[in-house]
């Protein structure tokens, strides 16, 4: 269970205008652990804990969403509601996933 959220959000991480779609708890945990600009604060710590709890199968995914939004507010990360309407069955986090898969490919030496 990835902890799909009822409503994805877009967060601006890395550089101005570089929004990433976060639509589930796994993506939120990855953002908090590897891409977050500030690695301290009560909301940040709570969001990490809640995301990991949801990923372990306890708690509601939207609790993780609310904690993630609180951490974003604490860190002054720009957040906007997901605007794109996707057909049913499509992943809301495809942009994020493509980059992650590309980073996980083993390098081949010639």
Would you say residue 91 has pLDDT above 80? no
Local confidence band at 18 (pLDDT 50, 70, 90 cut-offs): confident
> What residues does each domain of the chain span?
4-100
Q: Which residues pair with 21 in a beta bridge?
A: 10
Residues 81, 9: contact at Cβ < 8 Å? yes
Tell me what pLDDT residue 110 has: 47
Would you say residue 55 has pLDDT above 90? yes
Mean pLDDT of 82-88: 56
Would you say residue 93 has pLDDT above 70? no
Does an H or E element contain 24, and which? Answer: strand 19-24
Q: What are phi and psi of 43, to 5 degrees?
A: -70, -40
């Amino acid at each position: 269970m990835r902890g799909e959220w009822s409503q994805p959000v877009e967060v601006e991480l890395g550089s101005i205008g570089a929004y990433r779609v976060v639509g589930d708890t796994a993506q939120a945990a990855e953002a908090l652990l590897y891409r977050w600009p500030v690695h301290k604060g009560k909301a940040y710590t709570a969001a990490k804990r809640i995301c990991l709890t949801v990923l372990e199968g306890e708690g509601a995914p939207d609790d993780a969403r609310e904690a993630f939004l609180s951490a974003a507010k604490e860190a002054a990360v720009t957040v906007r509601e997901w605007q794109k309407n996707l057909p049913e069955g499509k992943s809301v986090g495809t942009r994020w996933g493509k980059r992650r898969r590309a980073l996980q490919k083993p390098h081949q030496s010639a």
